[in-house]
Amino acid sequence: ADRVIQLGHWDDIPGVLSVVDALLLTSRSEGLPRSITEALLAGKPAFMFACEGVEDIFADQIDTFVTARDPSALAARIVVLWREPNRIASLVASLQTRLDQQFHPRQHVESLLACLATAPRVTASAAGTSAPAAGSLAAPRPSTPPPCAISCAKKKSTTTA
């Protein structure tokens, strides 16, 4: 009990991570556990129970850092791994590289740009509208719904009838 500190709410996450040895997350449910990614990117090992989003972070190292909802099993896993500081450092470095490749904002921007590059271009005349006024940020409003909206509306009317 004297070796675990529950901090509660804290605004200076990088400051906290700079002085802790590891992160333990015992949530029952998570989307993408951001606290785990922050700890790993700060070079700290992070351990948790299995929940959504974990596979995206740990991939093939999931069995090293994650257990089913069994506190004793998770504690045993931490103790075993803690005796191998070089292995921990290597695993965390590998996860840092993975996180940088998968979740870095640069990766998201590149993915969005790739999607936009393949999206069909619609001009104001093709959409049945007039161009917006010069300097306007508003998108032109089509005079008729786009084809995808028409097909969705047809499907809806046939399924609800």
- Write down the pLDDT at residue 148: 45
Angle at 47 between CA 41 and CA 50, to 5 degrees: 115
Q: List Cβ neighbours of 82 (8 Å cut-off, separation of 6 or more).
A: 88
- The SS3 assignment for 2 reads coil
CA distance 88 to 80: 11
Q: Which helix (H) or strand (E) holds 100?
A: helix 85-103
**Number of alpha helices (DSSP H) and beta strands (DSSP E) in the chain:** 8, 3
- What tens digit of pLDDT does each residue of 57-96 get? 998 998 999 988 899 999 999 999 999 999 999 999 999 9
